[in-house]
Structure 1
Amino acid sequence: MDAISQWDPLTLVIFLALSGMFAVSCYAWVYFIKHHQCNTPPGPPGLPLIGNLLSLDPELHKQFTSLSQTYGPIFSLRLGPRYGVVVSSPSIARQVLRDHDVIFANHDVPAAVRVATEGASDILWTPYGSEWRMLRKVFVQWMVSNYTLDSVHMLRRKEVRKMVGYLYGRVGFQVNIGEQMFLTVLNVITSMIWGGTVEEGGDERAIVGAELRKVVADFTELLGKPNISDFFPGLVKFGLQGVEKQMGSLVQRFDQIFEKILRQRLKMNKESGNKEDSKDFLDFLLKLKDDENAKLPLTMAHIKGLLMDMVVGGTDTSANTMEFAMAEIMSNPDVMKRIRQELESVAGQDNVVEESHIHKLPYLLAVVKETMRLYPVVPLLVPHCPSETITVGGYKIPKGSRVFVNVWAIHRDPSVYDNPLDFNPSRFLDSKPDFRGNDFRYLPFGSGRRICAGITLAEKNLLYSLAILMHSFDWKVPPGQKLDISEKFGTVLKKKTPLVAIPTPRLSNPALYE
């Protein structure tokens, strides 16, 4: 003991970390062997102590797809002391996401998120229960319902028209499609949430938007970064890779932005005596917080969590999907021609596309569906964590396992789709799977209790923006460049190379770009 007390702090930390890792891993090895004797899913052999960790590929969705061809539609991995299960077929996905929905209703929370958001509550990470049901009800019924979103359609139109005006000013110049889509959706969402708080058109609003964009991009990237603490929970306190510290810093930046907005709104409400009707979602949330008759009162932590869900969940994902859609359309002239013909027949050759036209554009909807089939936003969904040991697909899934549903593999399965690697929107004109997770061959937003809560908002933003971009402009790749549609794996799927294109006006009347 005396010798150890004389070590410098860094040496002591490393010694304790390695000792803890060894002890936990020895337990995991025994645990793993024990469960493999209890009819758990087959899987690749792993090394003592660390299991399959060193063999994991950066392109995890592709590696899992390859392993499923060897070990079947449900297989297991040992991730240090954690037990991992990968599901890659519609029938087994149905068992996880619908038949045993309640048991798999919790998400597996990354260590960095658990540490950085301690005490906070949101829809994505809050455990299934009364608090989660209350948050989802508030979000779905009052923030992203069809009625609510229809009531703020002019906000969406205003921001999309701003994007059109900007692109018109960039005619002949290169434009980063994902960046513009990100900013547009961010402006739509923040206008819906707190549009009356920050002075319209002021520098303050632009500063808030730019800061949020940077924080969201960093947050989603960090969320997909491998972290040893997720596999060896005993090492969380040491933060060996610094992921927890970085995530804490990002969450603090979110908190500072939201705190500023909330202070401004509370001051405005106090000065007005709360006599004005609610102008946006933030007013509504603050009224819920002050509702003394609520069974589960909304707290300020809940409000911040809901704001983060909308900002993080609705921006980067929509921008990435738009990039993939535009890239595929530009690569397929026949698809582009058919989109234009449909738009012109519905909106007219020299008229502005309106959101009211969207329901009359079945081929455009098919293009979005096909894009999300080939490039699902979250290719492995957010991992689920069973609350008890359960039998799925004839195998036992131990309590506390990390369960991945490989949507990317299901969507590209040749036994499910004809010519699955081809971009063919027409396949969705003949069959009618929607985004709601009722058809387990098509799960871009997941299914069951934990299905993405913002489907309606995402659908409206994507369809309207894509219709505007395709109807208002011609697009071409900059000279000397090739169109690259390759993807980069992460918690959120991205294009490996950002889509840069040059817009040319299609409409003859310049006033239509104002």
Structure 2
Amino acid sequence: MLSSATLDSNSFSALRRQETRRTVRYLADRARAGLAINVGEQIFVTILNVGLAKRVRRSAQRMDRMFDRIISQRVGMDKGSKGNGGDFLMVLLNAKDEDENMSMNHVKALLMDMVLGETLRLHPALPLLIPRCPSETTVIGGYTIPNDSKVFINVWAIHRNPNVWENPLECNPDRFLDKGYDFSGNDYSYFPFGSGRRICAGMAMAEKVVLYNLATLLHSFDWRIGEGEKVELEEKFGIL
């Protein structure tokens, strides 16, 4: 049910498009009435209406146009110093100029992958993975773990460990530019969906849903906070 082939099938993608369009209509009605929207709550409800998966050709075209506008504005600016002197978008544009095999499509794809990867590093959906029970006594990091002990893997703490990550509390998507981090769980410094045989079965679905909903909402609306309100940046307990 959660395989890539099933998620990309027409029956599942049609359901996801229907649910997302319903969300867009709801948000549009609220916007026309001048009412504020709790995006986190609404997206959570939308994602729970699963059955899905999506074919994102149309949505990808919309996102491409959005990225084109952003990148065109930046290309028209003085790129300044090379390398680490600019933000991660400028680094990508500089890399494109230096590598003839790299196209603007590569820049946009890397841009989205980096932002998504950094978001999941800072805020994994499940901070504590499924508990493990070692079959024999093991020593890890100087700690002795007796056999049959129930061990919870704190992936949230691993993703914020200063011994593993440079400036771990800083949201810095360009840290994913030169590193081979992915969601497969093969790198034990970054595994937001777990690893091994107990890796999250919905990993492929989660990746598709996040990109699809983000692209649709960015394309459909011009976002701003309510008058007199401020964006709350303090972390709180919860999934979203």
Query: Does the Cα contact within 8 Å between 1:364 and 1:467 map onto a contact in 2?
Result: no
The CA distance in 1 between the partners of 2:220 and 2:170, in whole Å, is 27
2:22 corresponds to 1:156: no
The CA distance in 1 between the partners of 2:162 and 2:190, in whole Å, is 13
Report Cα offsets for 1:303-330 as digits up to 9, x if no partner: xxxxxxxxxxxxxxxxxxxxxxxxxxxx
Query: Does the Cα contact within 8 Å between 2:64 and 2:108 map onto a contact in 1?
Result: no
Q: Which residue of 2 aligns with 1:431?
A: 179
Report Cα offsets for 1:244-273 as digits up to 9, x if no partner: xxxxxxxxxxxxxxxxxxxxxxxxxxxxxx
How far 1:402 moved relative to its partner?
2.3
| Aligned residue among 478, 482, 487 for 2:226 | 478
Q: Which residue of 2 aligns with 1:146?
A: 4
Q: Which residue of 1 aligns with 2:166?
A: 418
3-state SS of the aligned residue for 1:396?
strand
Query: Does the Cα contact within 8 Å between 2:136 and 2:146 map onto a contact in 1?
Result: yes
How far 1:395 moved relative to its partner?
4.6
The CA distance in 2 between the partners of 1:418 and 1:472, in whole Å, is 36
Alignment of 1:180-195 (within 5 A): 180-189=42-51
Query: Does the Cα contact within 8 Å between 1:343 and 1:361 map onto a contact in 2?
Result: no
2:230 corresponds to 1:368: no
The CA distance in 2 between the partners of 1:373 and 1:420, in whole Å, is 9
Identity of aligned residues (%): 53
Tell me the amino acid that sits aligned with residue 149 of structure 1.
L
Distance 1:423 1:144, change over 3 A: same
Query: Does the Cα contact within 8 Å between 2:114 and 2:174 map onto a contact in 1?
Result: yes
Report Cα offsets for 1:455-513 as digits up to 9, x if no partner: 00000001110111122212222223321132334xxx445xxxxxxxxxxxxxxxxxx
The CA distance in 2 between the partners of 1:460 and 1:386, in whole Å, is 33
Distance 1:154 1:429, change over 3 A: farther
Query: Does the Cα contact within 8 Å between 2:67 and 2:108 map onto a contact in 1?
Result: no
Report Cα offsets for 1:414-454 as digits up to 9, x if no partner: 33222221112222222231111111111111111111111
Q: Which residue of 1 aligns with 2:68?
A: 345
Tell me the amino acid that sits aligned with residue 188 of structure 1.
V
Report Cα offsets for 1:7-29 as digits up to 9, x if no partner: xxxxxxxxxxxxxxxxxxxxxxx
3-state SS of the aligned residue for 1:422?
coil
The CA distance in 1 between the partners of 2:205 and 2:35, in whole Å, is 30
How far 1:360 moved relative to its partner?
5.8
2:203 corresponds to 1:455: yes
Tell me the amino acid that sits aligned with residue 390 of structure 1.
T
Report how many aligned residue pairs link the two structures.
193
Alignment of 1:232-311 (within 5 A): none
How far 1:147 moved relative to its partner?
0.6
Structure-1-length-normalised TM-score: 0.35
The CA distance in 2 between the partners of 1:453 and 1:363, in whole Å, is 26
| Aligned residue among 155, 161, 166 for 2:26 | 166
The CA distance in 2 between the partners of 1:426 and 1:154, in whole Å, is 34
Report Cα offsets for 1:282-340 as digits up to 9, x if no partner: xxxxxxxxxxxxxxxxxxxxxxxxxxxxxxxxxxxxxxxxxxxxxxxxxxxxxxxxxx7
Distance 1:174 1:186, change over 3 A: same
More strand by share: 1
3-state SS of the aligned residue for 2:222?
strand
How far 1:160 moved relative to its partner?
1.2
The CA distance in 2 between the partners of 1:383 and 1:477, in whole Å, is 40
More helix by share: 1
Query: Does the Cα contact within 8 Å between 1:487 and 1:494 map onto a contact in 2?
Result: no
The CA distance in 1 between the partners of 2:226 and 2:143, in whole Å, is 52
The CA distance in 1 between the partners of 2:128 and 2:65, in whole Å, is 34
The CA distance in 1 between the partners of 2:64 and 2:205, in whole Å, is 26
The CA distance in 2 between the partners of 1:341 and 1:427, in whole Å, is 23
Report Cα offsets for 1:85-142 as digits up to 9, x if no partner: xxxxxxxxxxxxxxxxxxxxxxxxxxxxxxxxxxxxxxxxxxxxxxxxxxxxxxxxxx
Alignment of 1:311-390 (within 5 A): 343-345=66-68, 361-390=109-138
Query: Does the Cα contact within 8 Å between 2:127 and 2:154 map onto a contact in 1?
Result: yes
Report Cα offsets for 1:365-397 as digits up to 9, x if no partner: 221111111111122323222244334345531
**What is the root-mean-square deviation in Å for CA atoms of aligned residues?**
2.8
Query: Does the Cα contact within 8 Å between 1:433 and 1:442 map onto a contact in 2?
Result: yes
Distance 1:146 1:387, change over 3 A: same
Which has the higher mean CA deviation after the structures are superposed, 480-489 or 180-189?
480-489
Tell me the amino acid that sits aligned with residue 50 of structure 2.
V
Tell me the amino acid that sits aligned with residue 183 of structure 1.
V
Distance 1:479 1:361, change over 3 A: same
Structure-2-length-normalised TM-score: 0.70
The CA distance in 2 between the partners of 1:387 and 1:147, in whole Å, is 35
How far 1:150 moved relative to its partner?
0.4
Report Cα offsets for 1:146-180 as digits up to 9, x if no partner: 11100022221221122112211111311111221
3-state SS of the aligned residue for 1:426?
helix
The CA distance in 2 between the partners of 1:153 and 1:365, in whole Å, is 21
